[in-house]
Structure 1
Amino acid sequence: MTKVRIRRVVARTRWQLVTFVGGRGGESVGVVDLLAIRKDHSPPHQGMKRGDALHIVLIQVKGGSAAMPTVEDGIRLRAVAKRHGAEQSLLGVWKKGKAVEFFRLQPKASAGDDWIEITNLDEIFH
């Protein structure tokens, strides 16, 4: 359901959605379940041409009775985002009979909740 909701939004934009599938066709291991990516057509950085850079959003999915991500998951996701230059990290949570809820990972660990609820995916995929 998370993928369906995101696909509806990215279909109106130039984002591409990448799904990582494991060896048996199920989920792959690792903290990132989906990747949204698009070309950055803004004025280029030195040594690059327009369209060389990328915008990247990392997406983790939790469904059914899966627990919310741990503090360690947040640390790992931030490390992966830093390593690959991702601009945002997103969490999609769905429970049977309910709409998917989305959360954005705070860039730095906080004393409070690391995940901020997002009600409009257009904030992420503009």
Structure 2
Amino acid sequence: GKYLPKLAQTAVATVLVQLRGVETPETQEARKALIAFLQGRAKTTGSKYLSVIAAHAEADPFAKVKKMIKDLLVRLMEEANDEADHKGWCDHELSTNKQARDTLSAEASDLAAKADELAALEAKLAQE
């Protein structure tokens, strides 16, 4: 979550709120009341159409779609977090390797300078 861009976090949160909004207790109660009303009217009038409508209202036709969307969002969030974690690891490794390279390069420069000093000293001693 902490690595996911703010816009993506906002978009995902909005979608989840919208999906949850369909399943609030108030909505469930309203659906139950509607189903009871339709079933009652179907019995009193003997209407097969009202029975079919009540059955459809009871069967939440979007439940599978909502579950698929939620599962997809969860998977995308996990992938985004995995990618962000991997990027963080790569950035850390690059930084560590750069520091090691810089340290070794400085040591190599120091050794080259000492070698030059020793060569100059050797040449001076050879002349004496």
- Give TM class, smaller chain: under 0.3
Per residue, is there more helix in 1 or in 2? 2
Of the two, which has the highest radius of gyration?
2
Q: Which has the higher contact order (CA 8 A, sep 6+)?
A: 2
How high is the TM-score relative to the length of structure 2?
A: 0.17
Per residue, is there more strand in 1 or in 2? 1
